Amino acid sequence: MEQILQTIIIGLSNGLIFALVALGYTLVYGIIELINFAHGDLFMLGSFIAFVLISSVFVITADTPLTLMVAQIALIIAITMIATAAINLSIERVAYKPLRNAPKLAPLISAIGMSFVLQNIALLIFGPANKSVNAILPSVNILSAVGITGVTISAEQVFVAIVTIPLLIALTWFVNKTRQGRAMRATAQDPDTAGLMGVNVDRTIAITFLIGGALAGAAGVVQILYNNTSVWNLGFRFGLNAFTSAVLGGIGNLQGAVLGALVLGLINAFSDRYLAANWTNAIVFAVLIGILVFKPTGLLGQQLADRA
Amino acid sequence: MSASSRPIQPGIVGWLTHLVSSALNLPGAYRRELERRRGRTLAMTILAVFAMAYPVLNRLYFQPFSRNVFPLPFPEDAVVTFMMIFGIMAIGLNIVAGFAGLLDLGYVAFYAFGAYTAAFLASPHFGSVSVVLFSNTIQGFPGIHFPFWMLVPLAMITAATFGVLLGAPTLRLRGDYLAIVTLGFGEIVPVVFKNLAAVNFDFGPIHLVNANLTGGNLGINPIDAPHFFGIKFGSSSGIAAVYLGMILLVGAILTARNLERSRMGRAWIAIREDEVAAEMMGINTVRTKLLAFGLGASFAGVAGVFQASYQGLTTSDFFTFATSILVLIMVILGGIGNIWGVLVGALVLVFVDKTFLPWLGLRFTEISPDLPNPSQFNFLIFGVLLVAMMRFRPEGFIPSRQRAAELHHAPPGQAIGAAATMGDAAIAGEEAVEELAAEQEAIATADEAAEVIDIEGPPGDAPGRAGT
């Protein structure tokens, strides 16, 4: 029982990181029907940017006083989000925007190319080996404070939730309540009509990429503080996990992406714990293929008009 | 009129008869072609002779020159062999992605099926049994030893079967979803081959205790080198293997050309251009796409069997996503939909990847040991190449004119963004005219082709008669 609870906790915290990346996939797919293959690698770049900030710029250690550490981490998250948002916007300008009117597979192939470019830039700068930071979050069991033993929730896992959940709420608010969010939903439904209604389609798409990039950056920071390590090809598998989450929840559907990510996090954790870790990737891909074949609309259904 | 002008009989026998009669008519066909298009035919002849002589020239003159006189990037025999292997793969992927327009991002899986077919059926891996077919030299060896000429069709069948098994449930998906499904498949297959190293299975007559089926991380070796008439064609036999690869490659080219010009090939192109319209014209789209998938996969099976037999080993690490993408880049760079284009793409890319970049790296180190080694960042170059090709020349460097016209003219309803201005409309009109011209040219080419190879058929209806 305790083991199962522990596995669920691990699965949910992994799922929350998946969710941040999955939202980037689902936002972009919802609006221009592009599987943004480079998104996972953007997340990887985000974790490397955070790596540089933590280890060289701010030099945070476990001894840093708590208030200072909170302020520094908040600053790191902000800087990384801005950086990845800017990178994502430039990628959109260079690789996707010129292909708006090309056949649909052209931007996908361009995205694959971009993914390799980002991976190799990281390889060029950081080398082929894993890059690690020292654990800076205190290693305490939050649950032991309230007298529960046997199951642990670490400070890292709390940190994941503290960063991720407000971002998810903010995104939902932005898309559903603001004027720009309405423009995004309109563009997702029908870009031509949205354009005729006065929506600046190009700007809306750019903002979508900015938001997706920022979320990937935040996920990168969370990743490196949670796992304390990053590597140049981290983004490929992670990105496919996140994409699977988006598909699982119903691509284009924000709540779906979060739900899908949590489910996939659990699948990952349970497969690692109870099956065998070397089969986990195969299982994730089998889930992806199964969903696409049998229920392409996902768990919560697609929220975009089918323009295929 | 010669014997081959009779309509081709269906079935294997008819196909073989056709093959023999066309072979007998080759001198005549060549003479006619020489009369019709003298310059082009002569140039092609010289090119073909040079290609056939190249491995020998390379070994006797080019490589010694590079070693002793002046360092130039002339490929090693192994690299030339890999050019053949990837040439076969590129031609196979071109059937799927170029002719039928289905983006397959997991093509490497079928390569793996081919390689493991050779590994299972021509190695001492299953040492508890001894099955040796058609060979006196290795009689009594442990393991299963099929001869190479039997492995090739077996690998084709295996790869095609898995292609159909994957395609059957997935080919109804939209293009980008299909791409992702194939990618997932391409990732699962190596994982399966990697993990089946300690299998416990007990059901019915099969009892496996910690059975090492696939060799896991280490893979399977040694795999028998191809051997005919007592001659080995493995990695130790240098240019002999190159020529075996060349024979397989020429077989792949001829098969792909015939497929392209067949009723089915026209059906593939019709589906690529407009699936709904093709279906309206009576094409069974699911069956036709499945055939493209299966046939395309069988090419990778051949490439895999040759790779494994040639190198004498195979491991799951060979079959990565990067390899799938490398083949895709060959197809896109060369000219998607054009057999000669993708062939050149494969030759050039293998050369760049395995010979030119390492050579450049050596030159860099001579200048300064601190300079980065370009062969480590080959995929940075290839990634930039993919993005640039999609943006500036999606039809590739040696394009199929028909495909080029399609790529520069998005079908209606896919265009998003601002409403079309007058200028856009004018450009679209021009493109439509271009496309029409290209299509007419395709019709003309098909007629010419029909004349050259003496296939009966009323003129002018070649693409129109596509159907199954």
- B109-141 pLDDT, tens digit each: 999 999 999 999 888 887 766 677 766 556 567
How many domains in chain B?
Answer: 1
Q: How far apart are the first and last CA of chain B?
A: 28
- Asked if residue B458 has pLDDT above 70, the reply is no
Residues of A in contact with B176 (CB under 8 A): 33-35, 104-105, 108
Q: Identify whether A302 is part of a domain.
A: no
In whole angstroms, give the CA distance from residue A148 to residue A145: 7
Complete DSSP assignment for A180-199: HHHHHHHHHH-HHHHHHTT-
In whole angstroms, give the CA distance from residue B332 to residue B334: 6
Q: Identify whether B432 is part of a domain.
A: no
Q: Which of B304, B12, B253, B19 is nearest to B151 (CA)?
A: B304
CATH number of the domain residue A69 falls in: 1.10.3470
Establish if A234 touches chain B: CB-CB under 8 angstroms.
Answer: no
Q: Which of A122-131, A175-184, A196-205, A294-303 shows the lowest mean pLDDT across its residues?
A: A294-303
Residues of A in contact with B183 (CB under 8 A): 240
Q: Identify whether B411 is part of a domain.
A: no
Query: How is residue A132 written in tokens?
Result: 């690690």
Q: Which of B86, B84, B110 is nearest to B296 (CA)?
A: B110
Q: Which of A134-143, A225-234, A283-292, B315-324 shows the lowest mean pLDDT across its residues?
A: A134-143
Q: Do B419 and A192 touch (CB under 8 A)?
A: yes
Residue in A105, A117, A296 closest to B103 by CB: A105
Residue in A106, A117, A236 closest to B390 by CB: A106
What is the reported pLDDT for B466?
Answer: 39
Q: Which of residues 163-222 of B touch A (CB under 8 A)?
A: 169-170, 173-177, 179-181, 183-185, 187-188, 191-192, 194-195
Q: Is B291 left (phi over 0), alpha (psi -120 to 50) or beta?
A: alpha
What is the reported pLDDT for B363?
Answer: 86
Residue in B177, B377, B391 closest to A110 by CB: B391
Q: Do A112 and B386 touch (CB under 8 A)?
A: yes
Q: Phi/psi of residue B209, each to 5°?
A: -120, 110
* The pairing of beta strand B231-232 with beta strand A229-230: unpaired
Give the mean model confidence (pLDDT) for residues B67-93.
90
In this predicted model, which residue has the larger pLDDT, A64 or A205? Answer: A205
**Confidence at B246, pLDDT banded by 50, 70, 90:** very high
**Confidence at A12, pLDDT banded by 50, 70, 90:** very high
* The pairing of beta strand B143-145 with beta strand B122-123: antiparallel
Q: Which of residues 283-322 of B touch A (CB under 8 A)?
A: 321-322
Which of the residues B376, B391, B403 would you substitute to probe the A interface, choosing the one with the greatest number of A C-beta atoms within 10 Å? B391
Establish if A274 touches chain B: CB-CB under 8 angstroms.
Answer: no
What is the reported pLDDT for A63?
Answer: 76
Q: Do A105 and B175 touch (CB under 8 A)?
A: yes
Residue in A124, A278, A308 closest to B377 by CB: A124
Q: Do A124 and B372 touch (CB under 8 A)?
A: yes
What is the reported pLDDT for B114?
Answer: 94
- Asked if residue B328 has pLDDT above 80, the reply is yes
Give the mean model confidence (pLDDT) for residues A177-186.
91
Q: Which of residues 13-52 of A touch B (CB under 8 A)?
A: 32-35
Q: Identify whether A307 is part of a domain.
A: no
Establish if B418 touches chain A: CB-CB under 8 angstroms.
Answer: yes
Query: How is residue B35 written in tokens?
Result: 């009369």
- Asked if residue B338 has pLDDT above 70, the reply is yes
In this predicted model, which residue has the larger pLDDT, B164 or B221? Answer: B164
Establish if B391 touches chain A: CB-CB under 8 angstroms.
Answer: yes
Q: How far is CA A221 from its chain centroid? A: 11
Give the mean model confidence (pLDDT) for residues B96-110.
92
Residues of A in contact with B187 (CB under 8 A): 240, 281-282, 285
Q: Identify whether B31 is part of a domain.
A: no
- Containing B256, the helix (H) or strand (E) segment is helix B239-261
Residue in A35, A192, A285 closest to B184 by CB: A285
* The pairing of beta strand A229-230 with beta strand B122-123: unpaired
**Confidence at B442, pLDDT banded by 50, 70, 90:** low
Residues of B in contact with A293 (CB under 8 A): 169-170, 173, 181
CATH number of the domain residue B119 falls in: 1.10.3470
- Asked if residue A170 has pLDDT above 70, the reply is yes
Q: How far is CA A77 from its chain centroid? A: 14
- Asked if residue B448 has pLDDT above 60, the reply is no
Which of the residues A285, A293, A297 would you substitute to probe the B interface, choosing the one with the greatest number of B C-beta atoms within 10 Å? A285
Q: Do A105 and B176 touch (CB under 8 A)?
A: yes
Q: Is B413 left (phi over 0), alpha (psi -120 to 50) or beta?
A: left
Q: Identify whether B193 is part of a domain.
A: yes
Percent of chain A at pLDDT > 70 equals 98
Residues of A in contact with B194 (CB under 8 A): 278
**Confidence at B344, pLDDT banded by 50, 70, 90:** very high
**Residues of the domain holding B302:** 75-404
Q: Identify whether B64 is part of a domain.
A: no
Which of the residues B104, B105, B188, B421 would you substitute to probe the A interface, choosing the one with the greatest number of A C-beta atoms within 10 Å? B188
Residues of B in contact with A108 (CB under 8 A): 103, 176, 179
Q: Do A117 and B380 touch (CB under 8 A)?
A: yes
Give the mean model confidence (pLDDT) for residues B445-459.
47
Q: Identify whether B451 is part of a domain.
A: no
What is the reported pLDDT for B445?
Answer: 55
What is the reported pLDDT for B8?
Answer: 61
Residues of B in contact with A247 (CB under 8 A): 180
Q: Which of residues 144-183 of A touch B (CB under 8 A)?
A: none
Establish if B406 touches chain A: CB-CB under 8 angstroms.
Answer: yes
What is the reported pLDDT for B17?
Answer: 82
How many domains in chain A?
Answer: 1
ω before B222 within 30° of 0 (cis)?
yes
Residues of B in contact with A103 (CB under 8 A): 406-407, 410-411, 414
Torsion angle, CA of A286/A292/A298/A302, rounded to 10 degrees?
A: 150
Q: Which of A14-18, B72-76, B330-334 shows the lowest mean pLDDT across its residues?
A: B72-76
- Asked if residue A250 has pLDDT above 60, the reply is yes
pLDDT in tens, A68-108: 888 989 999 999 999 999 999 999 999 999 998 888 888 99
Q: Chain B: residue nearest A93 by CA?
A: B391
**Residues of the domain holding A210:** 2-294
In whole angstroms, give the CA distance from residue A208 to residue B367: 46
What is the reported pLDDT for B369?
Answer: 82
The CA-based angle B170-B394-B91, given to 5 degrees, is: 60
Q: How far is CA B20 from its chain centroid? A: 25
Beta strands per DSSP E along A150-302: 229-230
**Three-state secondary-structure class, residue A7:** helix
Q: Which of B55-59, B200-204, B384-388 shows the lowest mean pLDDT across its residues?
A: B200-204
Q: Identify whether A78 is part of a domain.
A: yes
Q: Which residues have CB under 8 Å from A255's CB, separation 6+?
A: A172, A249, A300
**Confidence at B430, pLDDT banded by 50, 70, 90:** low
**Confidence at B9, pLDDT banded by 50, 70, 90:** low
- Asked if residue B428 has pLDDT above 70, the reply is no
Q: Identify whether B128 is part of a domain.
A: yes
Establish if A122 touches chain B: CB-CB under 8 angstroms.
Answer: no
What is the reported pLDDT for B104?
Answer: 92
**Confidence at B425, pLDDT banded by 50, 70, 90:** very low
Q: Do B387 and A114 touch (CB under 8 A)?
A: yes
Q: Do B417 and A195 touch (CB under 8 A)?
A: yes
Establish if B140 touches chain A: CB-CB under 8 angstroms.
Answer: no
**Confidence at B1, pLDDT banded by 50, 70, 90:** very low
Average pLDDT taken over every residue of chain A: 88
**Confidence at A142, pLDDT banded by 50, 70, 90:** confident
Q: Do A95 and B391 touch (CB under 8 A)?
A: yes
In this predicted model, which residue has the larger pLDDT, B273 or B87? Answer: B87
Q: Which of B306, B264, B303, B262 is nearest to B284 (CA)?
A: B264
Residue in A102, A112, A191 closest to B325 by CB: A112
Q: Identify whether B134 is part of a domain.
A: yes
Q: Do B410 and A102 touch (CB under 8 A)?
A: yes
Which of the residues A32, A41, A112 would you substitute to probe the B interface, choosing the one with the greatest number of B C-beta atoms within 10 Å? A112
- Asked if residue B101 has pLDDT above 70, the reply is yes
Identity (one letter) of the amino acid at A218? A
Residue in A99, A123, A292 closest to B391 by CB: A99
Give the mean model confidence (pLDDT) for residues B229-258.
87
Q: Do B387 and A102 touch (CB under 8 A)?
A: no
Q: Phi/psi of residue A79, each to 5°?
A: -60, -45
Establish if A192 touches chain B: CB-CB under 8 angstroms.
Answer: yes
CB pairs under 8 A between A and B: 152
Percent of chain B at pLDDT > 70 equals 82
Q: Do B387 and A292 touch (CB under 8 A)?
A: no
Q: Which residues have CB under 8 Å from A54's CB, separation 6+?
A: A60, A76, A133, A136, A224, A225
In 10 A of CB B465, how many CB atoms? 14
Residues of A in contact with B376 (CB under 8 A): 123
Are residues B144 and B121 in contact, defined by beta-carbon separation less than 8 angstroms? yes
**Confidence at B154, pLDDT banded by 50, 70, 90:** very high
Cα-atom radius of gyration of chain A, to the nearest Å? 19
Residues of A in contact with B174 (CB under 8 A): 308
**Confidence at B409, pLDDT banded by 50, 70, 90:** low
- Asked if residue A178 has pLDDT above 60, the reply is yes
